[in-house]
Chain A
């Protein structure tokens, strides 16, 4: 055990954690909206819209995240037309490519979580709202969405942790996130166990925090107060 290496690598890894957290928060933020959007499409009665939303979530849940990042980072640059548009400003940056890939991926999972949450809402609650003369729009925003969010909290908590682990793939497109820096230190010092303990510890600490925050929220928004 090389404790000196563990101590000296800790600040470097902690610095890289900032990038991991940035990637995570950005992709979760955009992914939540994307997921909500596709969950609503899934509930649409029009079969084409429905199938489109299903296809989106099927494709992104059925393929590895690594493929998705590679298609966006290496693949899209190949299209000549894209290089001439303003999109190229975003797509040439690995940072934004990673965020786009993560957003699309977490959006697919989130849409499934929210869809099942919407479907478990008891019809009686919506009927109660209707019989009180509340408009459909308000029923949706003030009754269905809050209940769906509460229902999906446990599953969404898991998704946040999965996404946090997913951000490690950013290191494959040259980003120096926590895993990227850990790999760099391992390949220069050839001390994988020490670095793994430190980097893994940081990841576990983040998992622990996310887990407890979700637990707290679950308790706070539970039905029996």
Chain B
């Protein structure tokens, strides 16, 4: 227990901030994922074959390639890509991207592929009559989507999105390879300097369990909220 003391003698405060970092990265990645899902879900549902192909390419590649490989691509390739773009605009200095942004982007793109699949499934399982009825009532496209399709879609999507959240949360542990100090990295540092890896990695496992447990409780509440009337 001394090892977990707050302050200079223990690792308690460091691990606490690392946990906050894990939560921050997970939420950012999830939001980035939603952004990608917002772009790629319409592509996958589109009437045009080419757009379909682009959407399918994204979800297939990302879901078929290990997360770690994607992270390495971003870690080693990220600043190169940014520097290339900057060089077009005449900026030739070395640019280093923040580990947080790299990690959140990499995990976000992965989480986006899963979210896209969830949204696609949810929209497809809404009864066709709903779309037609909305049209007949003369509701404009915007109102159709926000007032009729979205609420029904969310009810169907939330249980699956909760799985995506769990995957995203667990995937953030992989960002530790890029040096971002989240739970895994902090445990690695603590384990190295105290020579007590068993304790620190087990404690990391407990922290992750706590996070998944608490998020499950929260999501269950949301589920109840969005399935009112069913």
> What is A's interface to B at a CB cutoff of 8 Å?
58-59, 62-68, 70-71, 74-79, 161, 164-169, 171-172, 179, 182-183, 186-187, 190, 192-193, 196, 199-200, 203-204, 207-208
Contacts and interface: CB of A to CB of B under 8 A. Distances in A.
A190 B177 contact: no
A138 to B, nearest CB: 37
Contacts of B191: 74
Given A66-B174, A168-B67, A204-B65, 13 more contacts: A63-B208, A64-B184, A65-B170, A74-B198, A75-B198, A78-B198, A165-B66, A165-B67, A169-B68, A171-B68, A193-B77, A200-B69, A203-B69
Contacts of A171: 68
Interface in B157-179: 166, 170-171, 173-174, 176-177
Contacts of B63: 161, 207
B21 to A, nearest CB: 15
Contacts of B201: 67, 70-71, 74-75
B203 to A, nearest CB: 10
Main secondary structure of the interface of B (DSSP, over half): helix
Interface string B45-69: 0000000000000001101111111
Interface of B: 60-61, 63-69, 72-73, 76-77, 80, 166, 170-171, 173-174, 176-177, 184, 187-188, 191, 195-198, 201-202, 204-205, 208-209, 212-213
A144 B174 CA distance: 39
B69 A62 contact: no
A144 to B, nearest CB: 27
B106 to A, nearest CB: 12
B61 A200 contact: yes
A63 B73 contact: no
Contacts of A199: 69
Given A64-B171, A192-B72, A76 B213 contact: no
A66 B209 CA distance: 14
A71 B77 contact: no
A74 to B, nearest CB: 4
Contact of B197 (A74, A164, A172): A74
A182 B69 contact: yes
A168 B61 contact: no
A59 B69 contact: no
B162 to A, nearest CB: 13
Nearest to A199: B69
A192 B73 contact: yes
B198 to A, nearest CB: 4
